[in-house]
Amino acid sequence: MSRLDRLKVSLMALLTVALTSVGSANAVEKKMFGYEYNPATDQVTHYDADEPYVGAPEPLVIKDAFDYLQPWNGRCIEAKMPADKAKLLPCQTSNIKPTMKYHGIQIKGNKWMHLACDEAFKSVMNGGGPFSTVIVQIDDSNNRVMRYWISHNHVTEWVDPTAHGETTCIKQACKELGVFDLGHIRKDNPNLKLPQTCETSHCDLYTSAEPCPMCYSATRWAHINTIYFAATVYDAAAQGVNFGDEPQYAELSLNYEDRPRLGVKCYQCTEDNSLDAFNAYKRGGSIKY
C-alpha cells in the first residue's frame, strides 16, 4: 500500500468520524454534485490537519539554460500501445516554457504541489484525466493548516466537461464549509459549517497543471488569491496529451467579431427584458456575493 493510499484510508476513517460528529451527513453524501461518486477515492477531505503552513516555496534560481536540469522522479509507465507508436511518445522530463509567460514566478515545489501531482497520476492510472487539485485552508492567526481538500478531473467519469480538478475541488470545499468566499472565511459567518477557532482563515489552491480559463475564473470567483500550478499549458498541449488551453486564453483577448475565424460565433442580442434580472438583483433582497 503506497503512502498516499495509507493516507486515503486514514482520511476515510476521519471522514466517517467527522460526518458522524458534525451531524451533517448530507453535506458529503454520495450525490454531492449531482453525480454518484465514491468519497473514498473521488474526493478527499482531511478535516483535522494541524501543521505549520509552509507558504510559498523558494524562488527557483536558474543560472543559465545549460546549467539547469529540472528534477524528475524517473517515473515512466510501460506504454500500452504498439512500439512504433510508443517511440513517438517518450516520457517528458521537464516543463515546456517557450515564452516569457512564466518569468518571475518560477518557484520550487512543496508537499501540497507534490500531493496534487501524485493525485493526477493516480487519476490517470484509474482511467481518468491527468489533472488534480488540492485546496489548503490556513488559519490567519497562526499560519497553520486547518484542513485540505483533494479532487481530480472527473470529465469522463461523470460525462461532464466542466468537472475539472479545480472546479470540483472548489465545489467540495465551498459545499462543506458553507461559504462562497474561500479567500476570507470568517468565524462569525452564520453559514459556516465546519469548526473554526480563529477569526479568519483563507485558502490557497495547488493544481497539478496551469488552470484553463474556466478554472482560473472559478478560482477567482471563489476569491482564492494564491494559485500554484506545476505543469504548463504547453506541457498539457504536448503531442499525445493534446489538452490545448493556450488558444482559449488567446481567444478571450480577441474582439467577438474576430472570433469566427477560430470557429466560434458570439452575438449580443437586444431584448426588452435583458436587464430585468440585474435590476431586480440590485433593488431586491438577494444574497450579494
Residue 258 burial by CB count (10 A; 0-12/13-18/19+): exposed, middle or buried? exposed
C-beta contacts of 153-156 below 8 A and 24+ residues apart = 153/120, 153/123, 153/128, 153/129, 154/35, 154/37, 154/42, 154/128, 154/129, 155/128, 155/129, 156/127, 156/128, 156/129
Site for Zn ion (CB under 5 A): which residue of 138, 212, 231, 233? Answer: 212
Q: Scan residues 146-165 and list those touching Zn ion (CB under 5 A).
A: 164
Q: Which residue has the cell 489533472?
A: 131
Contact segment (CB under 5 A) with Zn ion among 40-48, 107-115, 169-177, 213-221 equals 213-221
- Which residues, 6+ apart, have CB-to-CB distance to 71 below 8 Å? none
Q: How far is the CB of 211 from Zn ion (least distance, A)?
A: 6
Size of the site for Zn ion (CB under 5 A): 4
Site string for Zn ion, 221-260 (x = CB under 5 A): ----------------------------------------
Q: How far is the CB of 166 from Zn ion (least distance, A)?
A: 5
Amino acid at 51: E
Site for Zn ion (CB under 5 A): which residue of 116, 205, 215, 224? Answer: 215
Q: How far is the CB of 62 from Zn ion (least distance, A)?
A: 28
205 counts as binding Zn ion under rule CB under 5 A: no
Choice between 39 and 129, CB closer to Zn ion: 129
Q: How far is the CB of 213 from Zn ion (least distance, A)?
A: 8
Task: Verify whether residue 166 is a known catalytic residue.
Answer: yes
Amino acid at 71: P
Q: Which of 119, 157, 166, 176 is catalytic?
A: 166
Cβ neighbours around 137 below 10 Å, total:
23
Would you state the cell numbers that stand for residue 207, as one nine-digit string? 493544481
Helix 3-22 and helix 111-125, axial crossing angle in degrees, nearest 10: 100
Q: How far is the CB of 130 from Zn ion (least distance, A)?
A: 12
Interacting residue ranges for Zn ion, rule: CB under 5 A? 164, 212, 214-215
Annotated catalytic residues are 166
